[in-house]
Amino acid sequence: MGCQPLLLLWGALLCVCVLPVTGNTTPCLPKKGKSFIYIEVQTCNGSGNSVYTVDDFAANVLTNGLTTGFLPAVYLIVFLIGLPSNAIALWVFLFRTKKKHPAIIYMANLALADLMFIIWLPLKISYHLNGNNWVYGEAMCKVFVGFFYGNMYCSILFMTCLSVQRYWVIVNPMSHTRKNSKIALVVSITIWVLIILSTIPLYLFNQTAYLPRLNITTCHDALPLDRLSFDMFNYFISLAVGLFFFPAGLTTLAYTLMIRTLNASITDEIIGKKRERAIRLIITVLFMYLICFIPSNILIILHYSFIKNQYVDNIYAFYIAALCLSSFNSCIDPFVYYFVSKDFRDNVKNTMKCRSVRTVERMRISFSSMKYSRKTNSYTSSSNSTKTSSC
């Protein structure tokens, strides 16, 4: 499809930008520092770990209803909707879909990425309900943070590939499906490798911090200023530019060319139906970008820019709220599958009706040998000697 070399080059450039920002951690010294919400390194305890204190603004953010009520409520909704919908979607893609064409490959990987994020949400919900107190250890915090950001950018990349693939199908309807499927498989593996490499920096330094004033241990909510203003600033700017703004531009270009191509053939009835499906897909994806991805990535840049240039950050509450809303992409993705693939719609319906693959195949063969009459609202065999009631 032509996007494999682009993704490989793109991944190499991103790794060059991201991995160098993870330099050696500084020793524990009694120096000033701030995190997302005004953290000061006050002293060192006997274990060699820093002890942190926060100001009134930080204490208010960590104890008010936004972080202890609203955030866990949103994550709970995402978990309750996203877990069954994406599990069903992945089941359909893996076990109910015979033809593994490129769109199916991308959507299956997207569903897998969403599931790998959703299964960690109970820990996030517990963290906020417990007053932003992380009790699961440093390693679990690192894994969750990696999956959180990895899912967001993984969804963006697979959505971009899906958009480019839809445009390719419209422009080249006679393209070789088997060859395109192999390319889609290579591109999917490349994306997973890219996401793994791009989240490595999150595992290289501590993500938890104990706050004696509030008697809580935060996860990714408090880090020293020197790390935030340099390491994390460069890292998240690289992620936002390489894994959001570039794919967003590519998605916009694909949809623009798609609509232009469809409008050029609008007199064709089949093209007209494709145009309607394409418009529904575009509306769904644009809604996802508007709600999930644009606010969080813009605020990531503003958040770290304020810390780097002004050593203050008064938008932290908006930043974590936007990150929370970005998790809704795990709920919206199944609707994208529904609009993109007729096979997916049919397979979901058959799964809900507990029809086996063999039963569906027998029904397809049976109905393909019969004709449907609108006057009698029934199916009639080719010999006109038998009739069956409408389904």
Three-state SS for the chain is CCCHHHHHHHHHHHHHHHHHHCCCCCCCCCCCCCCCCCEEEEEECCCCCEEEEECHHHHHHHHCHHHHHHHHHHHHHHHHHHHHHHHHHHHHHHHHCCCCCHHHHHHHHHHHHHHHHHCCHHHHHHHHHCCCCCCCHHHHHHHHHHHHHHHHHHHHHHHHHHHHHHHHHHHCCCCCHHHHHHHHHHHHHHHHHHHHHHHHHHHCCCCEEEECCCCEEEECCCCCHHHHHHHHHHHHHHHHHHHHHHHHHHHHHHHHHHHHHHHHCCCCHHHHHHHHHHHHHHHHHHHHHHHHHHHHHHHHHHHHHHHHHHCCCCCHHHHHHHHHHHCCHHHHHHHHHHHHCHHHHHHHHHHHCCCCHHHHHHHHHHHHCEEEECCCCEEEECCCCCEEECC
Percent of the chain scoring above 90 in pLDDT: 25
Q: Residue 370 is which amino acid?
A: M
CA distance 10 to 314: 33
Does residue 174 have a pLDDT over 90? Answer: no
Domain 4-21+64-207+233-355, architecture per CATH:
Up-down Bundle (1.20)
pLDDT value for 234: 84
Does residue 10 have a pLDDT over 70? Answer: no
Q: What is the b/e burial string over 296-328, where b = at least 16 CB atoms within 10 angstroms of the residue's CB?
A: bbebbbebbebbbeeeebeebbebbbbbbbbbb
185 in Cβ contact with 108 (< 8 Å): no
Question: Looking at per-residue confidence, does 362 or 110 come out higher?
Answer: 110
The mean pLDDT value for 276-298 works out to 80
Does residue 184 have a pLDDT over 50? Answer: yes
**Which tokens sit at 274?**
């494709």
The mean pLDDT value for 163-187 works out to 81
Q: How far is CA 21 from CA 9, 57, 135, 200, 203, in A?
A: 20, 29, 28, 11, 13
The mean pLDDT value for 299-319 works out to 78
Closest C-alpha to 88, from 382, 365, 337:
337
- Give the confidence band of 388 by pLDDT, cuts at 50, 70, 90: very low
Angle, in degrees to the nearest 10, between helices 102-118 and 329-340:
160
Does residue 286 have a pLDDT over 60? Answer: yes
Lowest-pLDDT choice from 8-17, 225-234, 343-352, 359-368: 8-17
Question: Looking at per-residue confidence, does 272 or 364 come out higher?
Answer: 272
- Give the confidence band of 112 by pLDDT, cuts at 50, 70, 90: very high
The mean pLDDT value for 117-134 works out to 94
Percent of the chain scoring above 70 in pLDDT: 65
The mean pLDDT value for 132-157 works out to 92
pLDDT value for 21: 43
225 in Cβ contact with 32 (< 8 Å): yes
Does residue 228 have a pLDDT over 50? Answer: yes
Name the average pLDDT for the chain. 75
pLDDT in tens, 315-365: 878 888 898 988 988 888 887 777 666 666 666 666 666 655 555 555 555
Question: Looking at per-residue confidence, does 331 or 263 come out higher?
Answer: 331
Question: Looking at per-residue confidence, does 383 or 314 come out higher?
Answer: 314
- Give the confidence band of 77 by pLDDT, cuts at 50, 70, 90: very high
Paired with 218 in beta bridges are: 209
Does residue 139 have a pLDDT over 70? Answer: yes
pLDDT value for 199: 93
pTM of the model: 0.76
Question: Looking at per-residue confidence, does 2 or 233 come out higher?
Answer: 233
Contacts for 252 with CB less than 8 Å, ≥ 6 apart: none
The mean pLDDT value for 99-127 works out to 90
Does residue 27 have a pLDDT over 50? Answer: no
Contacts for 97 with CB less than 8 Å, ≥ 6 apart: 104, 343, 344, 347
Q: How far does CA 164 lie from the centroid of its chain?
A: 17
Lowest-pLDDT choice from 52-56, 126-130, 339-343, 383-387: 383-387
pLDDT in tens, 32-62: 334 455 454 545 555 555 566 766 777 788 8
CA distance 108 to 345: 14
Q: Residue 29 is which amino acid?
A: L
- Give the confidence band of 14 by pLDDT, cuts at 50, 70, 90: very low
Question: Looking at per-residue confidence, does 175 or 290 come out higher?
Answer: 290
* Burial category of 194 from C-beta neighbours within 10 Å (exposed 0-12, middle 13-18, buried 19 and up): buried
For the chain, the straight-line distance linking the first and the last C-alpha, in angstroms and rounded, comes to 40
pLDDT value for 380: 55
* Burial category of 76 from C-beta neighbours within 10 Å (exposed 0-12, middle 13-18, buried 19 and up): middle
